[in-house]
Structure 1
Amino acid sequence: MDERQLGSTGESVTAVGLGTWQIGGAWGDVPEEQGRDVVRAALDAGVTFLDTADVYGDGRSESLIADVLAEHDADPFVATKAGRRLDPHVADDYDLAHLREFVDRSRENLAVETLDLLQLHCPPTHVYYRPETFDALETLVDEDRIAHYGVSVERVEEGLKAIEYPGVESVQIIFNPFRQRPAEHFLDRAADENVGVIVRVPYASGLLTGALSADDEFPENDHRNFNRDGEAFDVGETFAGVPFETGLEAVDELQSRAGVEDLASFTLRWILDHDAVTTVIPGTTTPAHVRSNVAAADRAAPTAEERAAVDAVYDEYVREHVHHRW
């Protein structure tokens, strides 16, 4: 699988990585051994980038990764996140004391001395206007608690502000055929600044796999049930902010116009066709899906006609719901 440079970190990572929110929590019940099997499948398929967070299952996702790495010969680049443990979740508490506490907990969960990459976890917008937060991250680098740092953002404008800080080496952002604004305003700027781009929520919470239907019912502890209107966190994290029924209509139209049968692999390849993207991190709860995600990297690039179909469906069905917000 193709590898790409992760900004200025000096690290190269596979174009398709693994997101581990699903095996941590908020996607229904996933047995721990099943979660480990997902990580094993990714490593066995050659994936060299794993993304997690300290709040995925209250550290469960980080610990499952550590379990597998203890038994496996692979040495992937592991990115985690911090900040969402704050209660209340306020900008002023993104300070050295809290971040050091969160980092030390993640180091313990992941069983490492130094975290490969720490990302601020979708903090309040005001954090990006607090130089002292980024000074704190520099201190954590100096203390060898973290090797690199970046941010995970909700909005394009947050990403643009973040990369004004020279120490920010990566930005994680939602980008897919139903969330296209980053291509318009952010990707080229990130490339110019040599900042790695990590794409999350590539499937829009399953919409862009083509496997969902109006009859689907999601478990009570699945965010696709409890966060449709943003009750728990930013609504843009659930179905990429697209109303579920509208998203289903858009998926049907996209498959018809583009003539795409395997929408999931097409979606990943569409994302990777943007050169500024370093890696895309689809999550899953099954090893089989891990393998199909990895295979998507070798799919032929979208044709001009397919790209035009994506843009047309976005303009007609999706743009009004998401483009002005994220």
Structure 2
Amino acid sequence: MTDITRKQFIKLTGAAGLALAGGVGAPALADTFLHKMVRKPIPSSGELLPVVGFGTSRVFDVGRSAEERAPLLDTLKILYDAGGSLIDTAPMYGPAEAVVGDLVARLNSRNKSFIATKVLQNGKQAGIDQMNASFHKLKTSHVDLMQVHNLVDWQTQLGTLREMKQDKKIRYLGITHYTDNGTRELVEIMKQEQLDFVQCQYAMNARLAEEELLPLARERGIAILCNRPFGRGALFNKVKGRELPVWAADLGIHSWAQYFLKYLLGHPAVTAVIPGTGRPDHARDNVMAGMSPLPDEAARKMMLDHLHGL
């Protein structure tokens, strides 16, 4: 079966679930978020981070026109209204950093944003130059989290990040990858380096992280961000035409997107998920996954067993 987009999935399954989640046909924002999303502690500091953030790869790759940027502005408003703060971007995401910088400045929301970006360069000076360019694009004097993107020259770049952290140009440092082989590499680095964050691939159909990376993160006190939480759209393919199980509502789940995200957030090692989000209806749906309750171990097993049975 070919991958489908979230837009196609909504059309195929109807809008009822999203309406319940504050999506299509939902009431105004002021009537939607009666509560703020759950926050989890960053192990290295104890700072509480809202559990659903937004990724910007591809979805924030837009031009400068007001028409192109209006949905993204609304998306960020939804994130903040739901109690969220985390925005993950990178120099490799086209104009995304500059778009984030412009929109955050327009909303005057830098103080309530947790901005994460990345460095992907070989060599110390090239890395420094790229990060300085990121500060400029993001219109900020500091970044909350700087990550070594896909482990490129990670030894060199981590050394620079430690210097930048000491100089208070960044608050946290970390490393990222998005493949199974990358997950294995992340584990080896986690064993030898002191890190604040690791960003890895984790989805209900991509669970390699559960074997070693997530237990190691708990042991080493490392925060985990989950990228590709919808399995690159394959999870929506799997549930195409399927109704949610009747017990899902008891877990605060009203859409398949929330089902997939809440499963991840229920893992005690997971700090936050960062689905790529550029549409307000998707944003409302996703942030609702961060509302209490989060599933415990027994509920997560039930969720996984049900998905495998489809």
TM-score range, shorter chain: 0.7 to 0.9
Q: Per-residue deviation at 1:308?
A: 1.7
Q: Tell me, yes or no, if the aligned pair for 1:134 and 1:165 is still in contact at 8 Å.
A: no
Residues 167-176 or 199-208, more deviating: 199-208
Q: Tell me, yes or no, if the aligned pair for 1:66 and 1:111 is still in contact at 8 Å.
A: yes
The 5-angstrom pairing of residues 1-326 of structure 1 reads: 1-25=37-61, 31-57=68-94, 60-70=95-105, 71-73=107-109, 75-83=112-120, 86=121, 93=122, 95-124=123-152, 127-128=153-154, 130=155, 132-154=156-178, 155-208=182-235, 210=236, 248=237, 250-252=238-240, 255=242, 262-298=255-291, 301=295, 302=299, 304-311=301-308
Q: Aligned residue pairs: how many?
A: 256
Letter in 1 for 2:169: R
TM-score, normalised via structure 1 length: 0.70
Q: Per-residue deviation at 1:104?
A: 0.2
- Please name the residue that 1:214 is paired with: none
For the residues of structure 1 that align with 2:125 and 2:171, how far apart are their CA atoms? 18
Q: Per-residue deviation at 1:6?
A: 2.1
Q: CA 1:77 to 1:303, structure 2 compared with 1: closer, same or farther past 3 Å?
A: closer
Q: Per-residue deviation at 1:182?
A: 0.4
Residues 17-26 or 111-120, more deviating: 17-26
- Please name the residue that 1:215 is paired with: none
For the residues of structure 1 that align with 2:192 and 2:129, how far apart are their CA atoms? 23
For the residues of structure 2 that align with 1:297 and 1:194, how far apart are their CA atoms? 22
For the residues of structure 2 that align with 1:37 and 1:140, how far apart are their CA atoms? 33
* Cα RMSD (Å): 2.7
Q: CA 1:150 to 1:192, structure 2 compared with 1: closer, same or farther past 3 Å?
A: same
Q: Tell me, yes or no, if the aligned pair for 2:204 and 2:304 is still in contact at 8 Å.
A: no
For the residues of structure 2 that align with 1:291 and 1:262, how far apart are their CA atoms? 11
For the residues of structure 2 that align with 1:143 and 1:285, how far apart are their CA atoms? 33
For the residues of structure 2 that align with 1:146 and 1:56, how far apart are their CA atoms? 20
- Please name the residue that 2:4 is paired with: none
Q: CA 1:303 to 1:82, structure 2 compared with 1: closer, same or farther past 3 Å?
A: closer
Q: CA 1:7 to 1:311, structure 2 compared with 1: closer, same or farther past 3 Å?
A: farther
Q: Per-residue deviation at 1:159?
A: 1.5
Residues 30-39 or 199-208, more deviating: 30-39
Q: CA 1:12 to 1:181, structure 2 compared with 1: closer, same or farther past 3 Å?
A: same
- Please name the residue that 1:217 is paired with: none
Q: CA 1:115 to 1:300, structure 2 compared with 1: closer, same or farther past 3 Å?
A: closer
For the residues of structure 2 that align with 1:256 and 1:193, how far apart are their CA atoms? 39
Q: Per-residue deviation at 1:285?
A: 1.9
For the residues of structure 2 that align with 1:203 and 1:108, how far apart are their CA atoms? 32
Q: Tell me, yes or no, if the aligned pair for 1:156 and 1:182 is still in contact at 8 Å.
A: yes
Q: CA 1:143 to 1:289, structure 2 compared with 1: closer, same or farther past 3 Å?
A: same
TM-score, normalised via structure 2 length: 0.74
Deviations along 1:153-208, whole A, 9 cap, x unmatched?
Answer: 23221211222344421000110111011011210110110000000111123333
Q: Per-residue deviation at 1:15?
A: 1.0
Unaligned runs of 5+ in 2: 1-36, 249-253
Identity of aligned residues (%): 24
Letter in 2 for 1:75: K
Residues 15-24 or 69-78, more deviating: 69-78
For the residues of structure 2 that align with 1:157 and 1:312, how far apart are their CA atoms? 28
Letter in 1 for 2:72: G
Deviations along 1:119-144, whole A, 9 cap, x unmatched?
Answer: 111134xx45x4x4422222222343
Q: Tell me, yes or no, if the aligned pair for 2:263 and 2:303 is still in contact at 8 Å.
A: no
